[in-house]
């Protein structure tokens, strides 16, 4: 379902589904599926109970990912 939502361009739904599954690799895949212009809208759509999990994934990406500028855009929202 996560993959299908990404292919359909519904990254907000894909991220929500990956958060429910609590699969780190799927959460990160969804993060990277969001275009930089849509980061704010997608971040706002994340339910409060999943914000901590999203932040954990972003922190891990900040430490281990070469796409620093992209991840920092997420952190600015």
> Based on the structure, what is the number of domains in the chain?
1
Domain that holds residue 53: 1-76
* Angle between helices 24-33 and 11-21 in degrees, nearest 10: 170
pLDDT tens profile 26-69: 999 999 999 999 999 999 999 999 999 999 999 999 999 899 99
CATH number for the domain including 29? 1.25.40.190
Q: Which conformational region is residue 22 in: left (phi greater than 0), alpha (psi within -120 to 50 degrees), or beta? A: left
Per-residue pLDDT at 34: 95
């Amino acid at each position: 379902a996560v993959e299908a939502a990404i292919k359909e361009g519904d990254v907000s739904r894909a991220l929500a589904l990956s958060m429910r599954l609590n699969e780190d690799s799927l959460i990160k895949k969804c993060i990277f599926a969001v275009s930089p212009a849509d980061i704010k809208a997608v971040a706002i759509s994340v339910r409060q109970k999943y914000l901590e999990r999203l932040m954990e994934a972003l922190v891990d990406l900040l430490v281990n990912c070469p796409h620093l500028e992209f991840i920092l855009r997420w952190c600015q929202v």
